[in-house]
């Protein structure tokens, strides 16, 4: 008997649960949201472009009878938008079962958020850090609730937390900045879970990564990569639906526990059914995690009620 290959059919019944998915209108986020909605969860697509969000919601409800899908405007690159979204979500949902921190930008040219943060660090890490902290009381109200933050194999590539120059003001390397943001996602996951455990909270923090998935995320890559992606991606990358399986498993598998990191089981974790995978030694350094946490609190002005 080979090992059971976990797939979308293994997602348990999600009826009665509320799931918020950032970036739920496209790619991995859309596939994750659709997978949850098909199993009966009430899903909120937290997206920058409300019109695209509504189109995505319509596509999900068309394929899943009776699915309840709402759209929430959220621009993770603006702390004001994060605060507005969090208060609107809190007003509508006294309890949130799942928060999937999925949205992200990759390999962008040098840009700043409205708050002056480097775009990839500001969007991928700080925006999600703030959103999670502001929604936390809604998650803590639900025993068994989960926060799933999407990282990347990029957390190992040219990646370190540049505490002396977090916003890359001295020089900019788009791959290094992406690696820093994805490493930060993992360090946040582990530190948050340790805080949940210390507080004896019934909420768990997990991470996932999609391996190599055929999504729109590479749209900011250098020209050569953009040119070869349409030719090469179908040959070596898995679909967004397959790439979403680690997130779905981290969010719904009854045997999953806080602090776990799910990714594809194939060679190099590029594709395959989802399983628990390892992460870099750097990502597990507790001193660095704590340092990043306090810096993130300072930069966002968000304190976690733990």
Distance CA(23)–CA(244), nearest Å, equals 12
CB 63 within 8 A of CB 93: no
Distance CA(214)–CA(211), nearest Å, equals 10
In the numeric block, which tokens belong to residue 269?
Answer: 């974790």
The pTM assigned to this predicted structure is 0.94
Low-confidence stretches of the chain (pLDDT < 70) are: 1-3, 213-237
The DSSP 8-state label assigned to residue 3 in this structure reads P
* Whole-number pLDDT of residue 220: 58
In the numeric block, which tokens belong to residue 189?
Answer: 């996951």
CB 20 within 8 A of CB 135: yes
Distance CA(122)–CA(196), nearest Å, equals 24
Catalytic positions are 178
* Domain spans, the chain: 13-300
* Whole-number pLDDT of residue 305: 87
Distance CA(28)–CA(292), nearest Å, equals 27
Interval 169-187: pLDDT, tens: 999 999 999 999 999 999 9
Interval 221-240: pLDDT, tens: 555 555 555 555 555 567 88
CB 193 within 8 A of CB 136: no
Distance CA(270)–CA(209), nearest Å, equals 10
* Whole-number pLDDT of residue 233: 55
* Pairing verdict, β 261-264 and 274-276: antiparallel
Count the alpha carbons within 13 Å of 40 in the hemisphere toward its beta carbon: 9
Segment (H or E) for 20 = strand 18-22
**Cβ-proximal residues to 125 (8 Å cutoff; 6+ apart), any chain:** 181, 184, 185, 188, 296
Question: Please, what is the angle between helix 286-300 and helix 174-198, to 10°?
Answer: 100
* Whole-number pLDDT of residue 218: 56
Is 13-300 in CATH node 3.40.1260.10? no
CA angle 285-129-287, nearest 5°? 20
The DSSP 8-state label assigned to residue 292 in this structure reads H
* Whole-number pLDDT of residue 156: 87
């Amino acid at each position: 008997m080979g090992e059971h290959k976990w797939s979308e059919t293994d997602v348990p019944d999600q009826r009665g649960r509320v799931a918020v998915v950032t970036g739920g209108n496209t790619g991995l986020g859309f596939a994750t949201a659709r997978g949850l909605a098909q199993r009966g969860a009430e899903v909120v697509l937290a997206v920058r472009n409300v019109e695209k969000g509504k189109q995505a919601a319509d596509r999900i409800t068309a394929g899943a009878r009776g699915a309840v899908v709402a759209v929430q405007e959220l621009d993770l690159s603006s702390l004001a938008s994060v605060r507005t979204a969090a208060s609107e979500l809190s007003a509508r949902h006294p309890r949130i079962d799942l928060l999937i921190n999925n949205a992200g930008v990759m390999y962008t040219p040098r840009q700043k958020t409205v708050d002056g943060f480097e775009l990839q660090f500001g969007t991928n890490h700080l925006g999600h850090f703030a959103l999670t902290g502001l929604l936390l009381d809604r998650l803590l109200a639900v025993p068994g609730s989960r926060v799933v933050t999407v990282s990347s194999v990029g957390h190992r590539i040219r990646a370190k937390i540049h505490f002396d120059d977090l916003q890359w003001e001295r020089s900019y390397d788009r791959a290094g900045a992406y690696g820093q943001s994805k490493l930060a996602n993992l360090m946040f996951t582990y530190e948050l879970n340790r805080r949940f455990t210390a507080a004896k909270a019934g909420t768990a923090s997990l991470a996932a990564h999609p391996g190599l998935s055929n999504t729109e995320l590479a749209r900011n890559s250098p020209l050569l990569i953009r040119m070869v992606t349409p030719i090469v991606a179908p040959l070596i990358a898995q679909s967004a639906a397959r790439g979403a399986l680690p997130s779905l498993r981290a969010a719904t598998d009854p045997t999953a526990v806080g602090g776990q990191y799910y990714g594809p089981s194939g060679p190099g974790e590029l594709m395959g059914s989802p399983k628990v995978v390892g992460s870099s030694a750097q990502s597990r350094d507790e001193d660095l995690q704590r340092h990043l946490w306090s810096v993130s609190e300072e930069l966002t002005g968000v304190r976690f009620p733990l």
